[in-house]
A and B are shown apart, each in its own frame.
Chain A
Amino acid sequence: MIGVSFEGVSVHLDGHPIIRSLDLEIPARSWVGVIGPNGAGKTTLVRALTGAASATGTIRVGDDRVSDLDRRSLARRIAYVPQLPYIPRSMTVTDYVLMGRTPYISYFGVETREDIHVVEGVLDRLDLRAFADRPLGSLSGGELQRVLLGRAFAQRAPILLLDEPTAALDVGHQQQVLELVDSLRKEQDLTVISAMHDLTLAGQFTDRLILLRDGQIVAEGTAEEVLTEAAIASHYGASVKIVRDNGTLVVIPTREGRSS
Chain B
Amino acid sequence: MGDSELRPTTLNNVWLTAGLAGLGLAVVVAVMVGPVPLRPGPVVKELLDRLPFVDVSSGLDQRQAAILWELRMPRVVLAGLVGATLSLCGAAYQGVFRNPLADPYLLGVAAGAGLGATLAIVYLPGRSGWPIDPLPLAAFVGALVGVFATYTLGRSGSRSRTASTLILSGVAIASFLTAIQTFVQQRESDTLRQVFSWILGQLTTASWGQVGLVLPYLTLSAVAILLHRRLLDVMAVGDEEADSLGVDTRRIRLLVVIAASLGTAAAVSVSGLIAFVGIIVPHTVRLLFGSSYRIVLPLSLIFGAGFLILTDLAARTMIAPAELPIGVITAFMGAPFFVLVLRRSRSVT
Contacts and interface: CB of A to CB of B under 8 A. Distances in A.
Interface of A: 47, 50-52, 71-76, 78, 80, 82, 85-86, 88-92, 94-95, 98-100, 102-103, 105, 107-111, 116, 119-120, 123-124, 129, 132-133, 155
Contacts of A99: 233-234, 237, 245
Given A95-B233, A124-B1, A132-B7, A89 B243 contact: no
A102 B243 CA distance: 10
23 contacts: A50-B240, A50-B243, A50-B244, A52-B240, A52-B243, A71-B247, A72-B247, A75-B246, A78-B244, A80-B241, A86-B241, A88-B291, A89-B348, A90-B290, A91-B291, A91-B292, A95-B9, A95-B233, A102-B246, A108-B228, A109-B230, A116-B6, A119-B6
Interface in B246-293: 246-248, 290-292
Contacts of B241: 80, 82, 85-86
B2 interface: yes
A7 to B, nearest CB: 22
A98 B247 CA distance: 14
A102 B234 contact: yes
Contacts of B240: 47, 50, 52, 82
Interface in B226-243: 227-228, 230-231, 233-234, 236-238, 240-241, 243
B230 A72 contact: no
Interface string B106-140: 00000000000000000000000000000000000
Given A94-B7, A116-B8, A132-B7, A52 B237 contact: no
Contacts of B231: 107
Given A51-B244, A98-B8, 7 more contacts: A52-B240, A80-B244, A102-B247, A103-B246, A105-B230, A110-B230, A120-B6
Contact of A88 (B227, B236, B246, B248): B236
B344 to A, nearest CB: 11
A95 B292 contact: yes
Contacts of A120: 2, 6
A161 to B, nearest CB: 8
A74 B9 contact: no
Given A86-B237, A86-B238, A90-B291, A71 B6 contact: no
Please report whether the interface of chain B is mostly helix, strand, loop or mixed according to DSSP: loop
4 nearest CB pairs, A to B: A75-B246, A103-B246, A72-B246, A102-B245
Interface in B1-52: 1-2, 6-9
A85 B237 contact: yes
A52 B9 contact: no
Chain B interface size band reads 20 to 34
Interface-centre pick from B230, B238, B246 (highest chain A CB count, 10 A): B246
Contacts of A116: 6, 8
Given A52-B240, A90-B291, A124-B1, A71 B248 contact: yes
B82 to A, nearest CB: 26
Nearest to A92: B9
B9 A103 contact: no
Q: Which of B9, B230, B244, B348 gathers the greatest number of chain A CB atoms within 10 Å?
A: B244
A95 to B, nearest CB: 5
Given A80-B244, A88-B237, A108 B227 contact: yes
A95 B8 contact: yes
B6 to A, nearest CB: 5
A119 B246 CA distance: 18
B291 A71 contact: no
A123 B4 CA distance: 12
Contacts of A85: 237, 241
Nearest to B236: A88
A91 B236 contact: yes
Given A91-B292, A92-B9, A95-B292, A71 B243 contact: yes
Contacts of A105: 230
A193 B290 CA distance: 36
Nearest to B6: A94
